[in-house]
Amino acid sequence: MKELPVDEKLAKKLRILADAAKYDASCASSGAPKRKADPDGLGSTTGAGICHAYTPDGRCVSLLKILLTNYCLFDCAYCVNRRSSNVKRAKFSVDEVVTLTIEFYKRNYIEGLFLSSGIIRSPDYTMEQMLLVVKKLRRDHGFRGYVHLKSIPEASPWLIEEAGLWADRLSINLELPTEASLGRLAPEKDGASIEGAMAQMHERILESKQERRHFSPAGQSTQMIVGADDTTDADVLRTSAKLYGHYDMRRVYYSAFSPIPDSSSVLPLKPPPLMRENRLYQADWLLRYYGFDVDEIASGGEKGMLDLEVDPKLAWALKNRHLFPVDVNVAEREMLLRVPGLGARAVDKIVVARKHTTLRLEDVARLTSGLKRARPFLITADHHPQGRLDRLDLRETLVEKPEQLSLFA
Ligand code: SF4
C-alpha cells in the first residue's frame, strides 16, 4: 500500500470515494481480473483508488479513480450510491481533487485521473464542478496527465461540450441495455437523453478531428450492467452494435451486476455467472473485428443467451458445421476469421504466408496458439479432419477450462 500524501480527513474521504467508484468498470482494462475490495477499503483495483486503463495509443496508464461525491439525488436500484442507500457519504471539494491528483502525480503513483460523481443539487451543478476540476488541473497546474471524465447525460449540452475541450476521454454510462430496464431500475434516467448526449459527443469528436481541434481525443466509451434483470445477451449486444455503429463508441464495457450492500429488493440476490461477462466481451469482439452480427452469435435455441460453456465463435462453428472444414490455403479471409482458434492476427499471417508456400499443420501451429480448437475445422496440405466434424462428442472434446480462455481467437 502506498503511503498517502494527505491528512487523515482527506484520506478518509478518499477511502469512501475510491471505494464508491470501484463499481464503474469503464476505466478498467477489458477483461481485467476483478479484485476483491481492499481490506482497508481503499481500493478500486490496485489500492488507494488506483486503476489501470489503456490510452488510444495502447499505453497502459494508472489512474486515480474516484467520485467527486457519492451523495446522489437519483435512486437507481442497482447503485450503491443511490439516494435510499445506507452507505457512508462524502464529498470532495474541487480543490481537494486537484490537490490529490497533483500530489499523486508528482509521486508517480498515477498518470491521470478518472473522475465520476453522484448527482448533487442538479446535473448542471455537478457537471460544472467536475469541469472545474479538470480546468484547474490544466490551467492552474499545467497538468498534462490523462483525464477521463464520466459525463452527466442530463447536464446541459454546452457543459458536456466544454468538458471535451479539457478531458482526454468522456464517457456516459448507458447502465442498462433497454428502455424497459431503465424504466424499471433507474426511473429518473432517460434513455433518450443519454443517447442524445452520446450523439452530441460523437458529432463534436468528428468535427474536431476535421478541424484538428482538441475534443476528447480518446473518444467516448460506455458501460452496461448485465444480470440486474432478465435482459438477454442478444438484447445487450444489439444495443452495443447500435452504439458502435451510430456513435463510433470506442468501447462498451460490460459489468456483471454484483449484489451491493443494502441492495434494493427489486434486484436479484445473486450475481450472474462471471463467465457471462467474459462471453459478452468475446461476442463484442466478434461483432467489431470478425464480421459477425448479433443474430448469428446470440439467438436461437438458447433464448438469446450466449453459451457459457464454449466461446461464441466455437458455439457458432459447432452449430454451422456444414460450413467447415475450411482450407487455409485457399479460403477467403472472412471465412478464416470464423474458424475457432484463429485470431485476426493469425489469419493475416496465414494470408501472407500462403502466398509463398503451401501451408501444413505445423505452419499453422506456429501462427496460432489455438490449434487444438482450430484443428477439427481446418484443412491444410497434410491434414483433413475427415469425419471428426460429425462426431457427437466434438463439443465435449473442445470445452475449455476457464484459464484457457482467449479474447482474440
Ligand atoms: S445517478 Fe449515478 S450515482 Fe446516482 S444513483 Fe444513479 S447510477 Fe448511482
Question: Which tens digit of pLDDT belongs to each residue from 353-398?
Answer: 999 999 999 999 999 999 999 999 999 999 999 988 999 899 999 8
Same domain flag for 263 and 318: no
Are residues 379 and 263 part of one domain? no
Of the residues 272, 295, 321, the one at which a domain ends: 272
3 is a domain residue: no
Residues 233 and 321 in one domain: no
Mean pLDDT computed over every residue of the chain: 87
Q: What pLDDT is attached to residue 65?
A: 94
Condensed to tens digits (0 to 9), the pLDDT of residues 126-139 reads 999 999 999 999 99
SS3 state at 221: strand
Q: What is the pLDDT of residues 333-342, one digit of tens each?
A: 999 999 999 9
- Phi and psi torsions of 147, nearest 5°: -130, 125
- Global pTM reads 0.81
Exposed, middle or buried: residue 322 (CB in 10 Å: 0-12, 13-18, 19+)?
A: exposed
Burial class (CB in 10 A: 0-12, 13-18, 19+), 381: middle
pLDDT, tens digit, for every residue of 183-237?
989 988 888 889 988 998 898 888 888 887 778 888 888 989 999 998 999 999 9
Return the ligand 1 atom nearest residue 118 CA. Answer: 3
Task: Indicate whether 280 belongs to any domain.
Answer: no
Ligand 1 atom nearest residue 117's Cα: 3
CA of 197 from ligand 1 middle (Å) equals: 17
Say yes or no: 54 and 199 in one domain: yes
**Would you state the cell numbers that stand for residue 160, as one nine-digit string?**
458536456
Considering the domain architecture, whether residues 163 and 106 belong to the same structural domain is answered as yes
Mutation pick for ligand 1 pocket among 82, 185, 263 (CB with most ligand atoms within 8 Å): 82
Q: Please report whether residue 121 resides in a domain.
A: yes
CA of 25 to the centre of ligand 1 (A): 14
Does the pLDDT at position 28 exceed 80? no
82 and 177 in a single domain? The answer is: yes
264 and 318 housed in the same domain: no
In tens, the pLDDT along 278-296 reads: 999 999 999 999 999 999 9
Report which protein residue has its CA nearest ligand 1's atom 6.
76
Residues 177 and 58 in one domain: yes
The distance in angstroms from the start CA to the end CA of the chain is 36
Is the per-residue pLDDT at 45 higher than 50? no
Q: How far apart are CA 162 and CA 393, in angstroms?
A: 58
Backbone angles phi, psi at 273, to 5 degrees: -60, 140
Report the nearest atom of ligand 1 relative to the CA of 175: 7
* 195 close to 172: Cβ distance less than 8 angstroms: no
Closest by CA position to 234, among listed 301, 317, 138 = 301
Q: pLDDT confidence of 55, banded at 50, 70, 90? A: low
Q: What's the CA gap between 345 and 52, in Å, rounded?
A: 25
- Return the ligand 1 atom nearest residue 67 CA: 3
Pair 249, 371 in one domain: no
Tell how far the Cα of 301 is from the centroid of ligand 1, in angstroms.
36
69 and 183 share a domain?
yes
CA angle at residue 153 from 149 to 156, to 5 degrees? Answer: 100
H-run or E-run covering 148: strand 146-150
- Tell me if 353 is assigned to some domain: yes
Domain membership of residue 244 (yes or no) is yes
- Would you say residue 37 has pLDDT above 50? no
| Domain stops at, among 272, 294, 320 | 272
Q: Work out how many domains the chain is built from and give that number.
A: 2
Where would I find the H helices in 176-299? 179-185, 191-210, 233-247, 274-289, 294-297
- What single letter denotes the amino acid at residue 51? C
Residue 34 has pLDDT above 80, yes or no: no
Q: Are residues 115 and 220 located together in one domain of the fold?
A: yes
**Predicted local distance difference test score (pLDDT) of residue 217:** 83
Q: Which of 211, 246, 272 is the last residue of a domain?
A: 272
pLDDT in tens, 56-95: 666 788 999 999 999 999 999 988 899 998 999 999 999 9
Closest CA to 26 of 212, 247, 174, 211: 174
Average pLDDT over residues 168-172: 89
Answer yes or no: is 291 within a domain. Answer: no
Tell me whether residue 243 is in a domain: yes
Domain housing 142: 8-272
3-class secondary-structure state, position 249: coil
User: For residue 383, how many other CB atoms are within 10 A of its CB?
Assistant: 16
Q: For residues 114 and 303, which has the higher predicted lDDT (pLDDT)? A: 114
Which residue owns the Cα nearest ligand 1 atom 3?
118
Which residues line the pocket of ligand 1, CB cutoff 6 A? 72, 74, 76, 79, 81-82, 118-119, 186
In a domain, 285, yes or no: no
> Where residue 113 sits, what CATH number does that domain have?
3.20.20.70
Answer yes or no: do 267 and 319 share one domain: no
Residue 33 pLDDT more than 70?
no
